[in-house]
Structure 1
Amino acid sequence: MSIITESQLSSQLLLAGAAFIAAIVIDIYKEKIPNKLCLLVIVSGFVINTYYAQLEGVLMALLGFALAFIILLPTFLFRILGAGDIKLMMGIGALMGPELLIYSLMYSFCAGTGTSLLFIIWKTGFTGLAKTLKRYWDCFYLRTYFKPEPGEAAGLRVPYAPALGLGWLWACSLDSDISELYFNWNIYLAPGTT
């Protein structure tokens, strides 16, 4: 596999970061990630990787794209993630490649617990969370299903783009190529350097 250049990695990181910021804001307020944003990231991933690495870039983008679809399809079928989340990560896979995609997904599943809990508390408060926990206990103890009540946390649709973005940031922070690029940027941007 060819070595990724600093300009290629910079382009990938800036585009992925901008895509995650847009997706998070839209997902929180509109509960949907637009197809146009996902398509832009997918096409950009193929274009950037093809431009910098020709055929190897196309193969890397295709592998990242397909791997995201394969890994995340069951989460859509079981209604864990929405189609927008999956399409966004297919774009990130096409843009960043399969390795960073896998780590991003692993870390996003960890981050999802925290972001979901914060979102639930933000929307319903601690009382909504307490109602849900009590209902779960009643369902378990009485062995009967009770539907969620209004104002309860279980009735909320939780946006997952924040968890996906945090997982991506976490994966980026542990990647040696990205750390080296960040170090080079700091040297270049530091006052008094030429």
Structure 2
Amino acid sequence: MAENQLTVQLLLSGLFFIAAIGIDLYKEKIPNILSLLAIFSGFAINSFYAQLAGLLMAFLGLALAFVVLFPTFLIRVLGAGDIKLMMGIGTLMGPELLFSSLLYGIVAGVGTTVLLTLWKTGVHGIKKTIIRYWQCFYLRSYFKPDPDEAAGQKVPYAPALALGWLCACALDQNVINLYQLWHQHLLMGVT
């Protein structure tokens, strides 16, 4: 029974991340409906498979995502769509896997931000930002970034959050055990 629950959780989380990445890269926004579907799915699936304990786990995942990520919204590091998406993932996967996902997502965010910024502005945009930062420092005055420089870009964070989730899943013992179970079933079906 636990294998079925984890399978559904992983499949739905993966689908929500795929949709979020596509929309975030194209529109630079994650729609509320996607996050709400993830949240409602998490409550429904976890309460179906684990009744009250599943409902509590889903609520804790949602609450942890909000408590950890809301300050990043206040200082304009993450957008509201990223936070709501992770609230949905937290509701689906629970607080333990969510916390690991967020830690790995921060690390992945450094790489994806650099790559997406390079893709949008090229080396010229990064060079222009470095020069502007030097001028701000030297002249002791802030200059707003130009739209064609790296600091002036809005970078979608859903890819980094998805990579963080993938890393957390790859290192989670329950997911590893599920993969081994799938592998055994596949081998038995082949032979």
For normalisation by structure 1, the TM-score amounts to 0.95
1:65 aligns with one of 58, 62, 65: 62
Residue 193 (structure 1) shift: 3.3
Q: Distance in 2 between matches of 1:149 and 1:74?
A: 26
Q: State the aligned residue count.
A: 191
Q: Give RMSD over aligned pairs.
A: 1.3
The residue number in structure 1 matching 2:164 is: 167
The residue number in structure 2 matching 1:143 is: 140
2:85 aligns with one of 77, 80, 88: 88
For normalisation by structure 2, the TM-score amounts to 0.96
The residue number in structure 2 matching 1:16 is: 13
The residue number in structure 1 matching 2:27 is: 30
The residue number in structure 2 matching 1:128 is: 125
Structure 1 residue ranges, 4+ long, deviating more than 6 angstroms after superposition: none
Residue 185 (structure 1) shift: 1.4
Which residues of structure 1 form unaligned runs of 5+? none
Q: Distance in 1 between matches of 2:74 and 2:142?
A: 23
Q: Distance in 1 between matches of 2:43 and 2:97?
A: 16
Q: Distance in 1 between matches of 2:2 and 2:107?
A: 30
CA deviation vs aligned residue, 1:31-54 (integer Å, no higher than 9, x gap): 000111101000000000000000
Identity of aligned residues (%): 65
CA deviation vs aligned residue, 1:99-124 (integer Å, no higher than 9, x gap): 00111001101110100000000000
Partner SS for 1:6: helix
Q: Distance in 1 between matches of 2:16 and 2:95?
A: 18
Letter in 2 for 1:147: K
Letter in 1 for 2:184: I
The residue number in structure 1 matching 2:102 is: 105
